[in-house]
Amino acid sequence: MSSTTYRVQGLDCTSCAFKLEKGVQQLDGVQIATVDFATSKIHIQGTVAPEVIYQRVQALGYTLEAESQGRRPSSPTVGGVRGFWLYLQTRFETRLALIGGALTLAVLILALAGMPLLLVNVLWVVAMAISAYPIARDGLNNLAINRDFNINLLMTIAAIGAVLIGEYLEAATVIFLFAIGEALEGYTTDRARNSMRSLVELAPPNAIRLENGQERQVPVENLHIGDHIVVKPGERVPMDGTITSGTTEINQAPITGESLPVYKTIGDPVYAGTINGTGAVEVEVTRLVQDNTLSRIIELVERAQSVRAPSQKLIDQFARWYTPLVTVIALLVASVPPLLFGAPFWGHEGWLYRALALLVIACPCSLVISAPVTILSAITGAARRGVLIKGGAYLEALAGVRAFAFDKTGTLTQGMPQVVNSYSEPCTGAETCPDCDEVYALAAAVERRSTHPIAKAVLSAAQQRTVAERYAPATDVEMMTGLGITGRVANRQVTLGSHRLFDREYPHSDSLHQAANQAEADGYMTMLVLDQNQVRGYLALSDTVREESLQVVQDLQRLGVKTVMLTGDNATVAHTIGQQVGVDEVRADLLPEDKVNALQGLLDSYQRVAMVGDGVNDAPALATATVGVAMGGAGSAQALETADVVLMADDLRQLPYMLRLAVFARNLIRQNILLSFAVKLGVLLLAVLGGATLWMAIAADVGISLVVTLNGMRPLRFERQPQG
């Protein structure tokens, strides 16, 4: 069974997505067909021939292009009125609508000049037929394939009904306005989609590869891992890689949202799509074009846009019975008063005309578009600022978060601890102490098998004392999650662990216990060292609080959110850091399972809780929280896959922004739903009372769809900092 993905042209609303999905699913050989409205893609699993799929999709009023096509736009997208005019000319149905509209206007002018009425009416019917052809074809095909009514069939019935009662100009005009309105809705929706797709243009299509010392320009698709490329000043970086020669400053805003350039030197990573500063650098390629950070971001965001929020699911379910319900009401309006009360049926004042107006207002587009466009725009806007939100469900959950739980190391602190002191028994107190050197050497041997920030700090300190290579790297190394690490060094079992672990498992002298307590009271974290059965001493480490932590915590508190720090460090160190950053509550000495239990308690108290951690060590806590937020870093594949939200630049200042954005998006969705309901209900009542014309009904439908779409796109321009 094969799996194929196509991009769909003409997918204007979620009702269209349901129709297409249902129609393709019925094909023989199709096992699964799913349509993502947000990304305008259809995913098909089965053994059906591609030409059969193309024919079915075309019969339902859409066109397909292979997923591999169009990934790199050949020219920039034109916006505004000119962009809409070009958009109209690219679609068969809108070209016919333009012809029909032009004919309608020309005949109106000729009618005012004295053309015979019979000829005028015939030409208006012709104009209506031209505009209505693709609409009627789609409606009838959908009825034949899916066995249900869609808005295109209802509009066709309304237009034919208008002709039957002699409203020729109105029939031609309503069909024209409907076609243009649908196109306008599709155009604005595509603009929202393309705001994310345009990221693919950030990475240049070609790169300068070094071949035997010579520079040669090649397509990025031809580059392999290990190739060396040159990035000149002012150019965009074409591929993910590591600098092997030169220094520069790079603008990483397209990837991480950082406002200031970042200094880069030999060994530092660079990312495709970022902008090189004033220095020329040589870069070794570390990822293929399809696997680079920019491609992964686009893929994750497109996947996120397809994850529907609860409110969106509710609206979609409502829309499925809204149109049939209004259609039944229209039938009753057309038949009951004339049959039971002798009311007029034909003519502009007849009940058939009122029923036709109801059919026009039966279109649910403005309702079903109210949530997805807003969510699409919010997720895209956040991604362009370095915040990856992995779905509408998480965006909606963020809007209701009442508490933020923070890991300490690497989240509220820099995550780059340094060894600042040591203690050994016995210690001579001399400038060069053999016993202290042995503590460093044993610790370095075990930590050489770890990538934890503490391991890096221990190795760095041991190297400064020139004892890092005294012992070979430890064997049989085992991590004791949240407690320490142990391994075999020179046939001895060496363990590094927290003071709490040693108090519980490994007896040590009162003097060492008191010294460790004093170090922790001074705000340091201690790692004790066990050599076989002898506790040798400890290393004291210090981690620096992030500059932005205090401000971020205060901003969250001003938004009405409780802040809690969860850490495995001892209570003394934890409370010292907690006071510096201003969190409401500190919970210390927590193992990973303790963090999960603490989060469960917060969920019981606050219902919706966000957890902010490093995306790897805090995976259980991130999974337990309502929303897990990873301090990912632009190159961390683990963070991109672990959490519900990823901060690409490790910038805590994005937290208040994403919370405000989520609340803003939720309010927009509510505004759109209420506005759509109010307008449709108002026109529906006017239609029943005889106060609404077909013109008014179509203008209301098209107008409210446009207003809802434009309102839903506002998160694209939502600023990180509040104005005023």
Range of lowest pLDDT (65-74, 180-189, 200-209, 540-549): 65-74
Question: What is the pLDDT, as a whole number, of residue 364?
Answer: 75
Asked if pLDDT for residue 713 goes beyond 50, the answer is yes
Range of lowest pLDDT (99-113, 165-179, 535-549, 686-700): 686-700
Q: Kindly calculate the radius of gyration of the chain based on its CA atoms and give it in whole angstroms.
A: 33
Quote the DSSP letter at residue 201: G
The closest of 103, 22, 4, 102 to 62, measured between CA atoms, is: 22
Average of per-residue pLDDT across 579-585 = 94
Whose structure tokens read 């399809």?
A: 290
Mean pLDDT across the chain: 85
Q: Check residues 711 and 187 and name the one with the higher pLDDT.
A: 711
Q: Sign of the C-alpha dihedral, residues 143, 93, 372, 699?
A: negative
- Is 708 in contact with 372 (CB distance < 8 Å)? no
> What kind and span of H or E run contains 53?
helix 50-59
Question: What is the pLDDT, as a whole number, of residue 73?
Answer: 43
Average of per-residue pLDDT across 401-415 = 89
Structure tokens at 623: 């999974």
Question: What is the pLDDT, as a whole number, of residue 361?
Answer: 79
Share of the chain above pLDDT 70, in %: 90
Distance from C-alpha of 88 to C-alpha of 75, rounded to nearest angstrom: 18
* Domains of the chain as residue ranges with CATH: 2-66 (3.30.70.100), 204-291 (2.70.150.10), 384-407+547-661 (3.40.50.1000), 418-542 (3.40.1110.10)
Structure tokens at 713: 């796109």
Distance from C-alpha of 577 to C-alpha of 136, rounded to nearest angstrom: 68
Range of lowest pLDDT (41-50, 304-313, 376-385): 304-313
Question: What is the pLDDT, as a whole number, of residue 174?
Answer: 87
211 phi/psi in degrees, rounded to 5? -130, 105
pLDDT band at 552 (very low <50, low <70, confident <90, very high): very high
Q: Is 525 exposed, middle or buried (0-12, 13-18, 19+ CB in 10 A)?
A: buried
Structure tokens at 668: 């927009």
Question: What is the pLDDT, as a whole number, of residue 635?
Answer: 43
600 phi/psi in degrees, rounded to 5? -60, -40
Average of per-residue pLDDT across 346-351 = 81
Quote the DSSP letter at residue 614: -
Asked if pLDDT for residue 76 goes beyond 50, the answer is no
Range of lowest pLDDT (80-89, 296-305, 430-439, 580-589): 296-305
The closest of 185, 184, 181, 199 to 77, measured between CA atoms, is: 199
**pLDDT tens, position by position, 641-682:** 668 888 887 889 999 999 999 999 999 999 998 998 898 888
Average of per-residue pLDDT across 318-335 = 82
Question: What is the pLDDT, as a whole number, of residue 196?
Answer: 57
Average of per-residue pLDDT across 304-317 = 66
Average of per-residue pLDDT across 264-282 = 90
- Produce one character per residue of 631-667: b if its CB has 16 or more CB atoms within 10 Å, e if not: bbbbbbeebbebbbbbbbbbbbbbbbbbbbbbebbbe
- Model confidence, pTM: 0.76
Task: Provide CB contacts within 8 A for 445, sequence distance 6+.
Answer: 470, 471, 472, 473, 474, 487, 489, 490, 494
Question: What is the pLDDT, as a whole number, of residue 590?
Answer: 84
Average of per-residue pLDDT across 402-411 = 90
Question: What is the pLDDT, as a whole number, of residue 718?
Answer: 87
The question of whether 407 is a catalytic residue gets the answer yes
The closest of 584, 602, 566, 403 to 482, measured between CA atoms, is: 566
Structure tokens at 236: 């965009």
The alpha-helical segments, DSSP class H, found in 506-627 are 510-521, 549-558, 571-581, 592-606, 619-624
Average of per-residue pLDDT across 120-139 = 93
Asked if pLDDT for residue 41 goes beyond 80, the answer is yes
Do strands 403-407 and 562-566 pair parallel, antiparallel, or not at all (unpaired)? parallel
Could you say which of 407, 614, 644, 701 is catalytic? 407
Do strands 585-587 and 562-566 pair parallel, antiparallel, or not at all (unpaired)? parallel
The closest of 512, 510, 494 to 426, measured between CA atoms, is: 512
Average of per-residue pLDDT across 43-64 = 88
**pLDDT tens, position by position, 147-158:** 877 788 888 888
**pLDDT tens, position by position, 218-241:** 999 999 999 999 999 989 999 999
Question: What is the pLDDT, as a whole number, of residue 690?
Answer: 84
**pLDDT tens, position by position, 169-226:** 988 988 898 888 888 877 877 776 666 556 666 678 899 999 988 999 999 999 999 9
Residue type, 189: T
**pLDDT tens, position by position, 283-294:** 999 999 888 877
Range of lowest pLDDT (237-246, 279-288, 390-399, 566-575): 566-575
